[in-house]
Amino acid sequence: MTNPIQSYTFALAGNPNAGKTTLFNHLTGARQHVGNYPGITVDRKEGYLNDNGRKITIVDLPGTYSLTAYSAEELVARDFLVNEKPEVVINIVDASNLERNLYLTTQFLELGVPLVIALNMVDVAKTRGITVQAEKLEEILGVPVVPIVARSGLGTRALLDAACRIAAEGNAWQPLDISYGDDLDATILRLVEVITTSRFLTARYPARFTAIKYLENDEQILDRGRDESPAIAAELEADVARVSQHLQKTLNVFPEAIIADHRYGYLKAVLRDGVITHAFDVDRLYTSDKIDKVVTNRLLGPLIMIGILLGLYQFTFSWSEIPVVWMESFFGWLGATVENLLAEGPLRSLLVSGIIDGVGGVLGFVPLILFMFFGIAVLEDSGYLARVAYMMDRVFRSFGLHGSSVMPFIVSGGIAGGCAVPGVMATRTLRSPKERMATLLTVPFMNCGAKLPVLALLIGAFFADHRALMMFLFTMLAWLVALCAAKFLRLTVLRGESTPFVMELPPYRFPTLRGLLIHTWERTWQYIKKAGTVILAISILLWAMMTYPGLPDAEQQNYTEQRQQVMAAYPETMDEQGGVEAKHQVDAVDERAALLAAIDREESAAALRHSAAGRIGLALESLSRLAGFDWRTNIALIGGFAAKEVIVSTLGTAYSMGDVDAEESASLSKRLQRSDDWNRVVAVAALVFIMFYAPCFVTVACIAKESSWRWAAFSMTFNTIFAFGLAVLVYQVGTILGLG
C-alpha cells in the first residue's frame, strides 16, 4: 500500500517585524527581503518545501496588528486566511514583546483557524531577562507553542512537526470565546443568534467573529453583509448602532476601544499565570529606549544623522578606491587583449567599444556599490533607519509627505545607491492615495545605484579633494529637490489632507554578519545581473547607433589616401647603421606613428559625427549648449533615458572616439579634465541634469503599473523639463560668476 502524497499549506502570520520573512526564508531557502523595519513585506509570497515526502507550501503574509480591515495589509492577510483556508496558520510572535504580539493571536483564536504559535526571538527575550513558559502558554491557549530563533533556525524542526501534526488532525475550525463585558456580551449573543439562524456569512466566518467585526465597524465585512442579505445586514447594523450610541453616551467610547481593552485584559490574565517571568524590573527602560533618548534627541539626533551619512560616504569612497582601479585596469587589459587578437572590423568594434566598454564601465563600479550597500545594510538591520523615519516625519510633513514616505526614499537611493523600482513598490505602505502618488513621483529623484558611477566619475574628476563632502551635498540636493517637487505636487495636482503617522519602532538589534553579507550580495547581484542583461542590450544598441551609418566611401578613401601619403613620406625600412643616422631614423618612426594615429582619430571622430547618435547629439547641441553640454555628452544623456548606468560608458566611448587632440589613450576622467567642453560648472550642471531628468525605462514602466501611464508620461516630461531648467540655471550662473 502506498501513501498518497500529502500536501499542506501553512500561512505565516503575525505582527510587523516579528520575523515572518526570516522564518520563511529559513524554511523555503528563499531570499525574500528581511529588514529591521516594520512593514517590509507588503504582499503575500509563496515558497515550497519538501518535508519527509510531504509537499508543503509556505505563504508569507504582510505583518498586521489586527484582523480588522483597517489597511490593505490586514485585508491581504485576512482574505488569504478565510478564502484559501490554509491547513495551519503559524502565528509568529515576538517573545520579547509578548503582550502586544498575542493581541493578534486572540483574533486568530476567535476566528478559529488551526493555529500553531511560533515563539520567535527567544534569544532577544533572554537578554532582556524574559523567560516564557511555552508549555504553560500552550496549556492555557490550547494550541501548540514552539520556541524558535528564526535567525538561526533553532526550533524550526519542532515547529514543522507541530504544524504537520495539526494539519494531519484536520480538525474543524474552533473559535474561542472571549468575554467583552456585560454590555457587549449581551449584544454579541443577540447578533450571533440572528447570524446563525439565517446562516449569514457563515460560509466564510464564524458567527461570533462576524458579530465582533460588526461591532468594530469593519467596512469589508459590512459590505459583504449588505451584498449577502440587505435585510439581515440592516437588522444587525441597527442593533450595533444602538449599542454604539449607548456606549458613547455613557462611557464616551466606541465599541472597538472596549474590545481592545478586554483583549489586552484577557492577555494580562493569561500572562499573569506564571507564563512569563522577568529577571529584571518590568518597568525599567530597555537599552533600546536609552539609545533612543540620545539618537532621536531634537538637537543631537539630526547631527548624528549627518555624521553617520558623512561617515558612510567616507568609508565607501576610501575603501572602494583601490578595487575600483583594479577593475578598471582589468577591463582595460581585456579590451586591449581582444583588440590584439581580432582583426579590425565591425566584430572587434562591437566587442571592444560596445560590450567590454559598456558592460565593463558598469561592472567597474561594483566595489563601490558593494561597500555602499554594506553600509546601508548595517543601518537597516540595526534599526537605525526606523529612527530616521521618525525624525524625518516632521520635515516630510511640512512638505506634504508622510513618515511612511521615508522608507521608499531610502530604498530608491536616499542614502545613495538604491533603486527606484523597489522604491516605487515600497510606496504601497502609504494609505493615502495622494501622499502615495506624491511619494511615487518624487522617489526617482534620489541617487540610485545607476547614478552612482556618474557621480563618482564627475566628483572624482573635478572635486577630487572633497569627495565625501560633495557626495553629501549632492545627496542633500536630491532630497531638497524631491521634497520641493513633492510640495509643488501637493499644492497643485495632488491637493489633500495629511494623514497620521503612527509606527512601532523596532528595537535596536546587532546585525549578523551573515545577514549583512546576504543583503549586500543580493543588491550587488541585482546590479551585476542588470549589467549583464539590460545594460548589455542597451550598450549594443548604443554602439550600433554610434557606428552606423558609417562614413561614405569617398571620405573613407580620403583618409586611406592620407595614410598612404604619410607612409610614403616615411619609409618603413631601417638600416642597421649606428650614430646620428639611427637617431634620426628612430625619430622618423615615432613621427610616422603619431601622424598615422592622428589620422585614425580624425577618422573616428568624423565617423561618430556621421553616425545616427552623433547626428542626434549634434542636432541637440544648440539647445544643450545652454546648459554647457557638447554633442558627445548629449549622446550619453540620450542613452541615460534607457538606463542611467550607460551614461558613463557611453561618455567613455564618445570621448575616446570623438577626441581629436588626445595624445594617447587616457582614462575618461583625465579626458574630461583636459577637454575644453568640461569644467567644474559643466560637471555640476551635468550632474544636476542626470540626477533629476526622466527616470529610466524600468522605473517608468513600474510607475505606470503602480499608477497609470498618464502619470508615467507626466513623470518623464515633467522631470526632464525641470532638470534641464535647473542645469541651465547652474551653468549660466556658474559661468557668469566665473567658477569654471
Partner 1 sequence: MVKKWFGQGCGFGRKNHNGRCGLKACSGVPLSAKRTCGRTKVCSITGDRKHCARLAAMGLYPGNEIELVSAPDGENCLVRVHGGTISIDRDTLDHIVVTD
Ligand X SMILES: Nc1nc2c(ncn2[C@@H]2O[C@H](COP(=O)(O)OP(=O)(O)OP(=O)(O)O)[C@@H](O)[C@H]2O)c(=O)[nH]1
Total residues contacting partner 1 (rule CB under 8 A)? 49
Query: What single-letter amino acid sits at 365?
Result: F
Segment contacting partner 1 by CB under 8 A, of 29-37, 260-268, 458-466, 609-617: 260-268
C-alpha cell at 93: 510572535
Q: Does 66 bind partner 1 (CB under 8 A)?
A: yes
Residues that bind ligand X (CB under 6 A): 16-22, 34-36, 38-41, 62-63, 120-121, 123-124, 149-151, 381, 509, 515
Neighbouring residues of 9: CB distance < 8 A, sequence distance ≥ 6:
56, 57, 58, 59, 84, 86, 87
Q: Which of 121/700 has CB closer to ligand X?
A: 121
Q: Does 590 bind partner 1 (CB under 8 A)?
A: no
Q: Does 488 bind partner 1 (CB under 8 A)?
A: no
Segment contacting partner 1 by CB under 8 A, of 280-288, 334-342, 715-723, 730-738: 280-288
Place of cell 560648472: 681
Helix, strand or coil, per DSSP, at residue 410 = helix
Tell me whether strands 45-51 and 54-60 are parallel, antiparallel or unpaired: antiparallel
Q: Does 135 bind partner 1 (CB under 8 A)?
A: no
35 binds, among Mg ion, partner 1, ligand X, none (CB under 5 to 8 A by kind): ligand X
User: Which of 24, 37, 70, 365 is the binder for partner 1 (CB under 8 A)?
Assistant: 70
Contact assessment for residue 723 and residue 688, using Cβ atoms and an 8 Å cutoff: yes
Neighbours of 227 (CB within 10 A): 10
Compute the CA torsion angle 660, 663, 664, 666 (nearest 10 deg): -80
Q: Does 261 bind partner 1 (CB under 8 A)?
A: yes
Site for partner 1 in 387-416 (CB under 8 A): 390, 393-394, 397, 403
Q: Does 496 bind partner 1 (CB under 8 A)?
A: yes
User: Which of 15, 21, 539, 679 is the binder for Mg ion (CB under 5 A)?
Assistant: 21
70 binds, among Mg ion, partner 1, ligand X, none (CB under 5 to 8 A by kind): partner 1
Q: What is the C-alpha separation between 267 and 281, in angstroms, rounded? A: 20
Among residues 481, 412, 476, the alpha carbon closest in space to that of 440 is found at: 412
Work out how close the CB of 378 gets to ligand X at its nearest, in angstroms, rounded to a whole number.
12
Work out how close the CB of 413 gets to ligand X at its nearest, in angstroms, rounded to a whole number.
21
Helix, strand or coil, per DSSP, at residue 91 = strand
User: Which of 9, 22, 25, 97 is the binder for partner 1 (CB under 8 A)?
Assistant: 97
Q: Which of 264/463 has CB closer to partner 1?
A: 264
Contact assessment for residue 347 and residue 633, using Cβ atoms and an 8 Å cutoff: no
Biggest alpha carbon–alpha carbon distance for the chain: 119
Q: Which of 233/377 has CB closer to ligand X?
A: 377
Segment contacting Mg ion by CB under 5 A, of 15-23, 220-228, 439-447, 449-457: 15-23
Among residues 711, 73, 713, 693, the alpha carbon closest in space to that of 437 is found at: 711
Among residues 429, 333, 387, 400, the alpha carbon closest in space to that of 43 is found at: 429
Q: Does 492 bind partner 1 (CB under 8 A)?
A: no
Q: Does 41 bind Mg ion (CB under 5 A)?
A: yes
Q: Which of 98/111 has CB closer to partner 1?
A: 98
Phi-psi region of 497 (alpha: psi -120 to 50; beta: other; left: phi over 0): beta
Tell me whether strands 88-94 and 115-120 are parallel, antiparallel or unpaired: parallel
Neighbours of 335 (CB within 10 A): 18
Q: Does 289 bind partner 1 (CB under 8 A)?
A: yes
Work out how close the CB of 124 gets to partner 1 at its nearest, in angstroms, rounded to a whole number.
12
Among residues 706, 634, 627, 716, the alpha carbon closest in space to that of 444 is found at: 716
Residues that bind partner 1 (CB under 8 A): 65-66, 68, 70-71, 96-100, 103, 216-217, 248, 251-254, 256-257, 259-261, 264, 283, 285, 288-289, 292-293, 296-298, 390, 393-394, 397, 403, 496-505, 507
